[in-house]
Every structure is written in C-alpha cells, then in structure tokens.
Structure 1
Amino acid sequence: MHVAWMRRLTPLLFLVPAVQVYARDNSLFTSSVTYCSEPDALLIQQFDVTYFQKNSSIWFNISAASVEPNVNVSANVLLNAYGMHPVNFTLDLCSLFHGALCPLPTYNFTGSDSVPLPSSLGVNEKIPSITFKIPDLEAFVQLTLTDVNTGQLKACVQATLSNGWSAHQVAVEWATGALGLLALLSAIWHSRSPDALAPYRLFDLLYLFQWAASIALLDLNYSSVYVAFATNFSWALGLFPASTTSPIQLSINNMRHLTGGNMADASSGSAVALVNRQLSPYNAVAALPTSYQTTNLARETLVTLGNLTTPGLIPRNFPSSVQELDNAGTVQLVTATSGNVLQAGVPIYVEYVGIATANAFMTIFLVALMLLAILTASLALGYGIVVLAGRRTKYTDLLRRRELYPAFAYAWLLRVCLVAVTPVSIFAMYQWTLKDSWLSVLLSVLLFLGLLGFLLLSIFHVVRLALRATPYALYTRPKTITAYGPLFALYRPERYFSGMLFLVSILVKAIFTAFAQANGEVQVISILVVECAVLAYLLFLRPHKTKGADILAIYLALTRVICTGLLIAFIQNLHVAAIPRVAIGVVIAVIISIAVIVMFINTLVNLSLIRVPARFRRRKAPPSVVSTLEKGGNEDVPGRPRNPTPERNIPLDTTINQPYLESPSETTTEEHSNYSEESGSTTLGSLLPRRWSLQPSAGSHSRTPSQSQYSSTSASSPRHSHPPSPLYPHSASHSRHPTIDEHEPITF
C-alpha cells in the first residue's frame, strides 16, 4: 500500500520546478553521519557509502576504529524509509568470519573500494525504482552495537540516505532572483508615474517569496521536500546561503561571543544530521533493539561479502593505520538530551542555508544596511543627474520632476521599508527570545523600532490628511501621492486604508511566528485566521481600482489561505504519516510555483510585453496624479492650476453652489481660455468644444443678478455650477468659469 502511494506521488514530484530534469545514474548514498549514543567501542571519522542500481555495486570510503578491548557485540541494522522499516534485523557477530569479530578488534581501518554485489541477493528487486527519483528522500540507516554479555549499548550510528534529487536548487535561486531583479527594474522605470502598477507589483512579488519562506519557520514537522523548496526563497528574507568560512558569518560569530553570546555556531556538516529525531527525515525512530533476531538473509549477506575480503577482515586495498583515533572528527553526537539538536522552525530553516540560529537576525541586519547604502547612493546619483540636467534645459516637465524628487526618494525609502518589514519583524522578535548576545538584542530593538516608527509616521500623515480633508485629497496632491503612494495609491479612495490593514496582518503573523515557536498549533491556527480575514476583506470590499488588481489580490490571498490550511497536516501532535506529509509538501510547493509563474506573467504585463483584456481595466477611479499634472490639478507645485475634478459625485454645498453674478462680458468663449491663478479655478487648461460656447440669451445683453444663469443651449435651460473641489472649496466662490456637466464628453 505504501509503495502504491509513492507511485501515485511520482507525477506530482516532477511538477516541482526545483527538481532537475537531466539524466543521472540511479544511486543511493549517505548524506550525513551522526552518533545516536556516546561512542564507547567504535569511533568514526568518515563514512561514505554509495549504492549504484545500474550494476548493483557499492562504493565505500570508511575511516573508523575500535578502541575498547574485549568487547563481544551483536549488531542491529535498521532502515527507516518514510517511517517504515523494510529492513530491521539483528545478528551475532561472533558467528561470522570464524569468530574474527569476537572480541571486536582494537585497531584502525581506513580505505575505499567498489564492491559488486552478488545477483543472488536481489537488492534491485527489493528497492522500488521510485526511491531513486523522490526529491529529498526521507530515509536513514541505523547501526547499533550491543554487548552480548551485559546488554550495554556500545555504539549507535545513523546515516541518512539521499538519491541526489532535491527541491532546493541553485538554479531556482538564481531564477527567482532574476525575476525579482526584472520586477525591480520595471518598478524603477515606471515609478516616474505614481499611477503605474509595476512598483506595487514589486512588493507583491517579493512578499510572495517572503511568505513562501516564512511559512517554513513554524514549529511543525514539515516534510523534507518542502523545507528544501522553501530555502529557494531564503534570499528574499535576507538569508543568503553561506558557509562556516564566510567572512560575514565569522564576524558575526566573533561579535556574539564578545558580547555574551554562548549559542553554537553553524555546523560545518549537513544540517540534516542535527535535526530532532522526531522530525523528518527521521520520523520518530524506533526504540533501540534489546533482542537478537539473526536472519538467514543477514548471515548470507555478510558471509558473501566476507568472501571478497582477505582472511581477517579488511579488504586488500585498505591501508591500515597504527595511530589510534582519539576523537570522532566532524561526526556529531545527537541524542535526546543534546544541546546541539535543531528544533522545528527557525533553527532548522536557517541551518539549512548554512547560518547559525543566533546569527539569523544579524545576517538580516547587515543585509539591511547594505540595501540602505545602495538605495541612498542610487537616489543621490539620480538627484545629481536631475539637478544637472535641469540647469541645462528649461523644460517644464524636467523642472517639475526636480521639484518632486524628494517625494520620489521618500517613496522608494517607503517601498524598501515595506519589503523589509517581514524579515526584520520576524527575526528581530525571534532574537529577543534567544537571549544570546546583548548587542544583537540591542541592534534588533533599534532596527525594529526605527522601521516601525518610519512606517507609523507615514501612515499617520496619510490618515491625518484623509480625515482633515477627504480621501480624495490623497490622490489629487502630487507630492502626497508621490511620497506616500506606496501605502494607498493602489486602492480606491474610500478604501485608501487597505494597504495599512495588510501591513497590520504582516505584523500579526510575524508576532505569532516569532513568539509562539513552542506551539505549532497556535502558530498555524492564528496565521490561518489572519489569512482568512484578509481574503474575506478582499472578496467583499474589492478595494482596488481595477478588476484585474482585485482578481490578482484575491488569487494571492486564496493561495496563502490554501497553503496555510495544508500546513495543519504538519502539526506534530496529529502524527500524520510520512508519505501523506510528503504529498502535502509537494502540493504546497506546486501551488506556490504556480503563483510565482502568475507573478512572472504579471511582470511581463507591466512591461507591456503582454496585453490585458480591457474588461479587467474598467473601473472608475479618481484622477491620477499624471492626469492631474497634465490637466492642471496641482497645489504643491507652484504655477500649476489647482482645480482637479473628481470623477465621483461629491455632495454639494448649497451655500457655495450659487449662480454666478458676473456679466456676460466676463464669460469665456471657445476662442479664449479664461484661466486665472488668482481664482484658483480652471477648465483643466483645455479649450471647450463649440457646443460648450456660452452665449447670452436672445435679446438681452445684460442681466440682473437674480436672472443670471448660464446655459449651453438657451436661457430656458439653466445649468448649475460644477461641485467645488474637495481640496479647495474656496475656488468655487472665485471661479469665473462656466459649469461643465460631468456627464458630457470633454475633449482634452
């Protein structure tokens, strides 16, 4: 039944984009070796074994030693594959090789060789072919040596197995990084216009990467395939893969140890070797054997292999050594009470990318400083170019852009802070739970408060303007929408606060991720509730300006809800079997991969390489800042007209909305545009069509104030003045322009 499950799983596994597709020989090899008990009788420096299916042979490279004299032991061999134990036998070593292993010889043996296995063993028939194709294989072999006289455990060694396939691939890291870079370049190019979608989609893309990585930071028993897949996006969190010899990691280690830090540095070996044995890929190993179960198969195997060796024990090409091994080299000791065990969540994830648990925040801190330095240098260079070009030209557009450049720079600083809020909030708060280095804690507090303070200050400015004036004011003031647009410009005026609510959801999820590391159930349920609330908000209120934006936001929110819901299967207390967990991990990886492809297509759309159907772009929105600048609505830039006309109906003030009292001689005709800076009112700087020409009523060249009505057709058709601007109600009382019906077409 389990094999059938694995065969059904095969098509899904190859949908994961991280899995390589090139051909290779089917093989199984040891990916890590650890002691599972104190090594009394057997010390290991190196243990590499590879099995090749093609010719049914084994290659090995072993360096070990027996150091305790007069030890008679029995050996138990246990194979754990996805929680199953297809091989589990015990044999008496004294009955093999004419008693050459009784007592256990006390000398070193080192060497390597390739040994063909006899066909009579039928090893290929016993190993399902899918074993060589499943990415991130969850299997290990455990060897235990027990004293036959006292029953005391003398040695326990665990070696994880791999087939070379993994959902973590450097090519995928580069591909997602290239996609992020493409979105960044698109955002930079289109950020000249606050109405452009590309800068906002940059955040959506990077947040998708960050979210895919962050849901692998919970206290859950993930399948190994998903953890490996999630590490493809670690760079989006600022956790770039590193090694123990990395100058940055060595500097962080030194800083921590000088400031009270006592947590372990990153391991030089595989992080898998240090994983808690209750988690994947170990899947709750069975208790150590207490009885002997010698099987004919085991005896036949060892005897056959013994025929290939010289009398005594060791193969011919094994160079012996006379020096005794006094330590276990890089082989780690991992028991239930060991302090170096990696628990689920942040420790396992960051160790997978070669970063120590205590170094995670400091790594992000240094990356944030580098990013800030690059941003500052880029903005300074851009400002220098704009100023230099402005001195050599009198183009109004360039002068306007130079005046708006501080707001433009502020917007990019705001975008960087929005991108950084997820990793900084998670790892800064997680650093507080470690209590490792006082300097790390201090820097985490400063960075977190600085980032949060900047965002809150920006939000306060936006909300204050919206409450004191009107939400439409946010969209009609060029400096406001240019500087603070990343917080609200993507949404309709009546839903301007939607981006701020989304930011709150990010912070709430970060709190549960960082502070609830000891309880995976609380983490999953809380984050799922938040994601469901965000999805419900998007479904019922539709806050975006266009249908396409709403559809994309709902799709991404639905993706987060589904994947977060599937994480429930990884809760340790549910004890879901290993194979279903692997299947669920692959499904989550596939769903996220599809979302990445969707965002890639969206990036191409923003680059105008793909066209979007018009029905997804139809929705009324307030005039954009570009339209405002082109048509005249500008308070912040001197010398520009200041009466933007909202597309939405605004209640009229009857005390202001009165007929004009000017004489017809002051009326504008189609040949004369009557813009006045003093009045603060304009017909958007365009000439009106002939049908909008204003003519006095027949037979009258003068009217009393009570009779004064403007009409586009006749005196019997009164037309009221246009509603005053929501920003500048005073302009209506000084306006000298006729009223334009918002339902009539106007040619600009």
Structure 2
Amino acid sequence: MFSSLARPRLFLIFSLSLFPALVLSREKALFASSVTYCQPPETLLIDRFDIAFFPSNHSVSFNISAASVQENVNVTANLLLNVYGMTPVNVTIDLCSILSGALCPLPTYNFTGADTITLPDSLEVSNKVPGIAFVIPDLEGFAQLTLKETGTGNIKACVQATLSNGWSTHQPAVEWVTSSFALAAFLSAIFHSVFPDSLAPLRFLDLFYLYQAIATSAFLDLNYASLYRSFTLNFAWAIGLVAPTSDSSLQASIDRMRHLTGGQLADSTSSSAVGFVNRRLSPYNSHLAKPVILVQRDVNPLGEILTTLSNTNLRATPIEVPPSSNFLTHLAIQPAVQGQVQTVTNDSSNVLEAGIPIYSNSLHIGTANAFMTSFIVCLIVLAIGLALLACGYFILFTIRRARMRKGKMTSFDYRSFVQAWLLRLGLILLLPLLIFAFYQWTLKDSWLTIILTVITFLFLLVLLFYPPYLITKFVRRSQDSHELYNHTPPTYLTSLGPLYAHLRPERYYFFLLYLAVPLLKAIFISFASASGFAQVILLVVTEFVVLVLQIVLKPHRTKGGNILNTYLGVTRLVCTGLLIAFVEHIAVKAIPRTVIGAVVAVVWSVAVIVLILDLVVFHMLVPIWQTINAQHTAHVRSFHVGKGGTKVG
C-alpha cells in the first residue's frame, strides 16, 4: 500500500520545479502567484497550491490541497521553468524509475498538507539563482508540470504556476501620492481660477493629461513588459478605473446589468489576471522559450530531495497539518488559487489579450465592465463637482447679501465661473470616456451599455464642437482674434477661458488640438486594436505633429509655458516611440523589453515630478510668498508713514 509519507511526493515534484528560480521578496522569497491548468485536467486536480522558497535558510514552505483521481496510469513528468523567455530547467523524469516504483502506476488519493522543509545543501539551489531575481519588480517567470502517459504520450495533466518575488512597480502608495497632488492642484486651481491671468487651472489640466497619457499607453495591442504594465496601473484612477474593494458590489452589479441586457462576456473576478494572460505575452513569453533538455543525472538530486521530504511530517487526507508560522508570518501574499482552478489554453475563451483586457482585469474589472466602471466614476466626479459648485453658490449668495446690507456690490459672475469649471471637467473626462465608449462598440455586449455609450458620445460631441463654434463665430464677427481677449465681456472670457485664455491671441486656435488629439487617440486605441504596430505608428505621428506645431507656433502666452509644454511633448513622443519595442512581431527578447519598460517608466516619472514641482513652486509656494511679502511691505510702509507723521507732529 502506498504509505501516507510517500503519497504527497507526486505533488511536491511540481513544487520542486520552482526551486531553481525561487527568489526573494522583502525578506527574499519566491512564491507561486497564480495557478492554472494548461490542459483540461484528467488525472491531477488542485484546490490549493501555495509555496514559497526562502534562500536565507534554504527552506520551502507550502500549503497544498490536491488529488490524483485516475487509476492505472503510468506517466512521465516534465518539469519546466521559464524565466524571461529562457528555460534554465526542462527535465523529463520517468516516475517508474524513482522511489522503487511507488509512483507507477500513479496512485489515487487526496492530499491536504502544509509544512516547512529545509533543502539539502548539496543541491546549491541559492547558487543557481541570480540575486537580481529576488529584487527585480514584476518578475516574469512560470513553472510547468506536464504528466504524459507512458507509451501513448497523451497529456494527463498540465499545470502552470506564475512566480513572484513580492516586488512590483504597482504600489498603492504611488496612487495615494499622485492623487493627493492632483487634489492639491485642484484646490489651487479653484482658488486661482478667479484670476484671468493665472495658469494654475491650466497646470491642473496638464497634470491630469499626463496621468491619463501614462495609463492609456498600456492600452495598445503590445507585449508589454510586466514591469511597465504594472507601473501604468498606478494611474488607472485618472481614467476612472478604480479597483474594487473587497466589500464593493459595484462590479457584481454591472455584471448583473449586462447579463440582463444581453451581455455574454466574462464577468469581473477577484482572482489574479496573470493566470489568464495569453501565453505569448509577459510574464509567460512562451514564444521565446528555447528548451534545454537536461541529462538524466538530474534525477539523483531529485531523489535526494524526495528522501528529505519523506522525513517531514506530511500527512494525507483526512488529517490536515496547520500551515507553518514561517509561511504565514514571513510572506504576506494572496493565495495562488482563488476559487476553482481554471483551464487556460491558446483556444480558451477566457484568455486575456493585450491592451484593455489585461489592463482592466489586472484591476479586477472585467473587460466588458471597463466602460461602465469609468462611466459611473465620471458620474460620481461630476456629481461631486456640481455639489461643490452649488455650495460655492450659497456661500457667494451669503457674501453678496452681507455686502448689500453694507451698501457694497460685487461684480463676480458666478455663472461664468461654473461654466468654466464644467468645461474643465469635460476636458478631463473626454479621453477615458471616448476610449471606453468606442471600445465597448467593438465588444458588442449588452444593448443597455451600448445605448449609454451612444448617449455619452453625443454629450461629448457637444463639448467637442459647441465651444469651438462659439469662439470661431466671435472671431469671424470681430475679424480680429485680439478682440477675443481685449474687448470680450469678462463673462465670456471666463466661461470659455479654459480653452484659449493661456494662448497668444494670434494662436487662439491652438486649443483645437486639445479636443482633436483625445478623439484621435480614442479612435486609434479602440478601432485599430488588431495591430499594435499600427497603433504605435499612428500615435507617434500624432505626438510628432503636436510637438512640431508646439515648437513652430509657440502658442502659449509665456516663455515658461512654451518650454514646459515642449518638454511634455518630447516626453510623450519619446515614451510612445519606445513602445515599438513591445510590438510582438518585432520579437524583442524579454530582458531587453523589461529594461526598455523600466526606462519608459522612469521618463514618465520624471515628467510627473517636474510637473508637480512646477505646480508646488510656481502656483502654490510663490503666490503664498508673494502674498506674505506684499503684506510685509505694506506693513513696513504703514509703519514708516506713521513714524514720519509722529516726527512732523
């Protein structure tokens, strides 16, 4: 009879395939982050598979629940490790040749167990793993176990587990910091927007445009480096994709709405999206893998490991060993298996393709839910904006009543102020709503969602055409663009000022780019999604034209404004151009792609820092310093006048 000590060994064979690349997170560790079947399971069924390797003490912690269910099956086991498209381990083992044939035929049993074991020093596992693998963010690697029936070669089980070291460029702290600066910029813009010459409201828009450019740069049909894709997730909130919390019911409500109105696409899920990524893409890079078949001598170390495992306190069902404290206290991770283990193959309908599908599902938002999520968030933002404007109206009304009692009047036109801020909100929401509305049309899912996208698009058309119509109509009538600035009533300048007030009178028409570029980007991203190369080229041409026009026309009223916008234009052009390295058919290897992704992320980050510093220094600190200095100067003058009067007296 197959002993309780020997029964778990089969399942631990799969875990051993992880060891050569197991690396460290914050205290140096490598663990399985997702588990999927790469073929419909026949022999091996997995309910739980959490495993981690700690190089500091050469130990492995695991918590596994699995079952072998088919009788009289003799199999060979292929262990494969893929790291950045390379296969340092690819070995096939005849299970009948080890453990005195205890695994031949494959026994049927259920196993649930957890423990921590120390690997033999003779294996030198840590020496085979480069140290950088423990610290590089968003490690690209996976381990695969394939069981093939002896004689026929039929696949009886195929399991893949992605690997992680706990480090990622997607950090909640970054989201909080960037959103906090956006909020501070918004408050500064609100305060300074009562002054026609202030550029604070414009810099607030520039900051949001930059955030949105970073997020949408991951929407193309490209094989992004995992590091770069994770980096762009830090700015998903700027386009209305807010990851649901554990107790949120928003995504479930959207799923129900879609299914009640004809939607057939997959729902949102709380499990990791990595397991569903197309195997050609990062972090799998399967099309880059070049197998290296190891010779039979690798069976001896395996036998040494199995001997070590046989001396551990592992038990089969129904006795369950509690998880070791090392695994729970030293590695804070989500379970690799959440719910039922899914089968993901090249022909599966649940495969996530590059672009919006991978991006949105990485935030636990279903592909078909992207528009509705962004739409609802935008409605919430609009509602908050209207509530703030309503509060401002009551405050202003109270101030006016108080001044009228004292015989004073105020000429501030709050209506134009409201119109200007509604226009700014529209400019912020324009790009994400256009992208998701157009993309939803390509999905053809849920007639109610389609109706909402059409209504949204019609409202956006008003924003795209009506304000430009009013401006160009006035210029044609006056036959001089200077009239738009010099002789236009202040109310008109305030209400439409967000479009052209920062531009030179001779270049007032430059605002048309602010409306045309989001429309073009939305069209390229949504309707050219079949070709990532075409998307990149179209976007590069767009950014190049915008940059050339910026340099040639110098449209901004200040030299600093032209320099800053030229810098941002160069940043967008360079970062968009470097995305060519992610085009699939160019087939740049995984490591160079990761390096390029890191470079692009750094360039974007520098631009964010520059823009934030510009906002903080020139539109927050400098005005405060000028106010304090003016008050101090007035106080000094008043003191000297009083002192002089005393002398004369």
- Secondary structure of 2:115 counterpart: strand
Displacement of 1:510 after TM fit?
1.1
Q: Give, in whole Å, the separation in 2 of the partners of 1:286 and 1:456.
A: 48
Please tell me whether Structure 1 or Structure 2 has the larger radius of gyration of its CA atoms.
1
SS of residue matched to 1:605: helix
Letter in 2 for 1:382: G
Pair 1:172 & 2:183 matched? no
Q: Is the 8 A contact 1:220 1:572 kept in 2?
A: yes
- CA distance change for structure 1 residues 101 and 286 in 2, over 3 Å: closer, same or farther? farther
2:639: which partner in 1?
Answer: none
- Structure 2 unaligned spans of 5+: 1-23, 321-336, 625-649
Match of 1:699 in 2: none
SS in 1 for 2:39: coil
Identity percentage of aligned residues:
51
The answer for the alignment partner of 2:391 in structure 1 is: 381
Contact 1:80 1:285 in 2 (8 A): no
Deviation at 1:506, TM superposition (A): 1.6
State the match for 1:419 in structure 2: 428
Letter of the aligned partner of 2:222 in structure 1? L
State the distance in 1 between where 2:550 and 2:247 align: 47
Which of 189, 199, 206 matches 1:187?
A: 189
Residue of structure 2 in register with 1:432 after alignment: 441
Q: How far has the Cα of 1:150 moved from its partner?
A: 1.0
Match of 2:521 among 500, 509, 514: 509
> C-alpha displacement at 1:23, in angstroms?
8.9
Match of 1:198 among 200, 220, 241: 200
1:484 lines up with 2:485 in the alignment = no
**What is the TM-score normalised by the length of structure 2?**
0.87
Specify the SS of the correspondent of 1:514.
helix
1:409 to 415, 418, 426: 418
| 8 Å contact kept, 1:531–1:557 | yes
Cα deviation for residue 245 of structure 1 reads: 5.4
Q: TM-score, normalised by structure 1?
A: 0.75
* Distance in 2 of aligned mates of 1:396 and 1:230: 56
Letter of the structure 2 residue corresponding to residue 295 of structure 1: Q
1:95 paired residue number: 97
Matches of 2:60 and 2:269 in 1, distance apart? Answer: 28
Report how many residues are paired.
582
| Structure 2 CA distance for partners of 1:302 and 1:23, relative to 1, 3 Å | closer
In 1, distance between residues paired with 2:514 and 2:373?
A: 26
Q: Which residue of 2 aligns with 1:9?
A: none
> In 1, distance between residues paired with 2:271 and 2:188?
40
Paired residues for 1:657-736 under 5 Å:
none
Which residue matches 1:46? 48
Name which structure has the greater RCO, CA cutoff 8 Å, separation 6+.
Answer: 2
Contact 2:138/2:226 (CA < 8 Å) preserved in 1? yes
The structure that is helix-richer by fraction is 2
Q: Following superposition of structure 1 onto structure 2, how do residues 84-163 of structure 1 map, counting pairs within 5 Å?
A: 84-163=86-165
Partner Cα separation in structure 2 for residue 65 and residue 398 of structure 1: 82
Q: Distance in 2 between matches of 1:334 and 1:69?
A: 25
Q: 1:611 to 1:190 in 2, by over 3 A?
A: closer
**SS class of match (1:33):** strand
Matches within 5 A, 1:554-573: 554-573=566-585
Q: Which whole-Å CA distance do the structure 2 matches of 1:578 and 1:607 have between them?
A: 42
Asked if structure 1 preserves the Cα contact closer than 8 Å seen for 2:223 and 2:584, the reply is yes
Displacement, 1:319? 4.1
Note if contact 2:37-2:158 (Cα within 8 Å) is conserved in structure 1. yes
- CA offset at residue 191 of structure 1? 0.7
**Amino acid in structure 1 at the alignment position of 2:395:** I
TM-superposed CA distance for 1:473, in Å, is 2.1
1:400 aligns with 2:411: yes
Q: Cα deviation per residue 1:589-628 (whole Å; 9 max; x = unaligned)? A: 000000010011111134341589xxxxxxxxxxxxxxxx
- The answer as to whether partners of 2:26 and 2:167 remain within 8 angstroms in 1 is no
Distance 1:362 1:23 in 2: 36
Distance 1:292 1:104 in 2: 24
- After TM superposition, the structure 1 stretch with the greater mean CA deviation from structure 2, 381-390 or 27-36, is 381-390
Alignment partner, residue 551 of structure 1: 563
- Give 1:329 deviation, angstroms: 4.8
Aligned to 1:360: 370
Compute the displacement of 1:180 (Å).
Answer: 0.5
Question: Is 2:481 aligned against 1:471?
Answer: yes
- What are the within-5 Å matches in structure 2 for residues 269-668 of structure 1? 269-284=271-286, 295-309=296-310, 315-321=312-318, 329-394=339-404, 399-401=410-412, 404-469=413-478, 470-476=480-486, 477=488, 478-610=490-622
Could you tell me whether the CA contact under 8 Å between 2:85 and 2:589 is conserved in 1?
A: yes
> 1:10-89 residue pairs with structure 2 within 5 A?
24-89=26-91
Q: CA contact under 8 A between 2:86 and 2:290: conserved in structure 1?
A: no
**TM-aligned CA deviation for residue 139 of structure 1:** 0.6
Q: CA deviation at 1:468?
A: 1.0
CA RMSD of aligned residues (A): 2.2
Shift in Å at residue 288 of structure 1?
A: 11
Cα 1:243–1:76 change in 2 (3 A) is: farther
Return the offset for 1:455.
3.5
Secondary structure of 1:55's counterpart equals coil
